[in-house]
Amino acid sequence: MLNGLLQLDPAKVRLGITHLESHHAERRDWVWHALGMAPLAGVLQHLAEVAKATSTTFSGTDPEEMASQYRDHYWRADDHALRALAYPLTSGQQGLVQGLLDLIYTPWLDGITRNFQNLVRSKGYPGLGRANEATADYAMAGEAVFFVDGLRFDTAQRLSEKLQGLGDIQLGSSWAALPSVTATAKAAVTPVHDRLTGRVTDRDFEPSLADGDKDFSAHHLRRLLHEKGWQYLEEGDAGDPSSNAWLQSGDIDKEGHVKGLKLAARIDTLLDEVVERSEELMAAGWRKIRIVTDHGWVLTPRPMSKVDLPKHLTETRWSRCAVIKDSVDTGYQQVGWYWNSAVSIAMAPGVCSFKAGQHYDHGGLSL
């Protein structure tokens, strides 16, 4: 019956999934499900949650209001889409789930992203000038800042649940620096962001050192942290809690770029590694662990729709963003680079891509 829904419009697909869930939810209490012999009854739960959360293509009066609605409720659509994609199924069943999500999740994701982009166009981007971490809030000592690349809000919710019992857990959110790529947005949340600047000659969205025309590399991150009196903790290094420290993990984003859709099945394992590392730090005497990230990402069950952006208009072109030569009008929404507003960045519309074949990527303008 799920196969038959693939021929329907999104509204009817949602109704059909909801109807099937009402009839088959009880099967998840049967022994066959416990034995792994009723997988579709299991994944149906997540499809039903996606159907429920995506029934409204929401918007708001400004980007902040839209973000508040997302934080309060709509992040669950992303979470359950991931859980559905991660569910252990045969390849044919996985294809069915991807097809259903392409009908109910992708159009919703594209719609709310375009609504958000329109609000940014008319009201401005709230993250301008305040995407960085408030370094004044750091403890004088005993605080470890744990950077996790690509810890999207819904995955942060899942991580928060996994951390329960380790101490007082607080979850917050902030706007990413634009474009929402690691080179730009990670630099903005380091404790040394005040030592950085952007030049119109910078490439690949990487800022420069303010006191010298050099790219902000991993070497300079370590050096500037040391000058600040901070430690840089390598993998497995517990450090000295008598001062502060920076440590990092890039596995979520790295696996998204490498594995695409298969990232969904890896999320729990990757988050468990963050929990394990946090436990090690606490055992070593660290009193506070601040887990920070740089950007979220888009993951679509079918490759993102490609839109055309001629290469001759661009200095650098990535999947979801591009540096535009001489700030020419491309017809796409353009924003200033976080580190230098004179650099014009074109944003892919909705959940489209400037490159073909992308299931996973980031750098654009979305919740």
- What is the average per-residue pLDDT within 30-54? 88
Given a contact cutoff of 8 angstroms between Cβ atoms, the answer to whether 333 and 346 are in contact is yes
What are the pLDDT digits (tens) for 182-197?
A: 999 999 999 999 999 9
What is residue 77's predicted lDDT score, i.e. its pLDDT? 98
Around Cβ 145, how many Cβ atoms within 10 Å?
23
Going by pLDDT thresholds of 50, 70 and 90, the confidence category of residue 136 is low
What is residue 134's predicted lDDT score, i.e. its pLDDT? 63
- Exposed/middle/buried for 121, CB within 10 Å: 0-12, 13-18, 19+? middle
Percent of the chain with pLDDT over 70: 98
Return d(Cα 49, Cα 81) in angstroms, integer. 9
What is residue 140's predicted lDDT score, i.e. its pLDDT? 84
What are the pLDDT digits (tens) for 224-257?
A: 999 999 999 999 999 999 999 999 987 899 999 9
What are the pLDDT digits (tens) for 105-123?
A: 999 999 999 999 999 999 9
What are the pLDDT digits (tens) for 277-299?
A: 999 999 999 999 999 999 999 99
What is residue 1's predicted lDDT score, i.e. its pLDDT? 80
Going by pLDDT thresholds of 50, 70 and 90, the confidence category of residue 132 is low
Tokens at residue 165, please? 């019992």
pTM over 0.85: yes
| DSSP letters for 20-86 | HHHHHGGGGGSHHHHTT--HHHHHHHHHHHHHHHTS-----SSHHHHHHHIIIIIHHHHHHHHHHHH
What are the pLDDT digits (tens) for 344-367?
A: 999 999 999 999 999 999 999 999
Which run of H or E residues covers position 255?
helix 251-259
- What is the average per-residue pLDDT within 315-342? 95
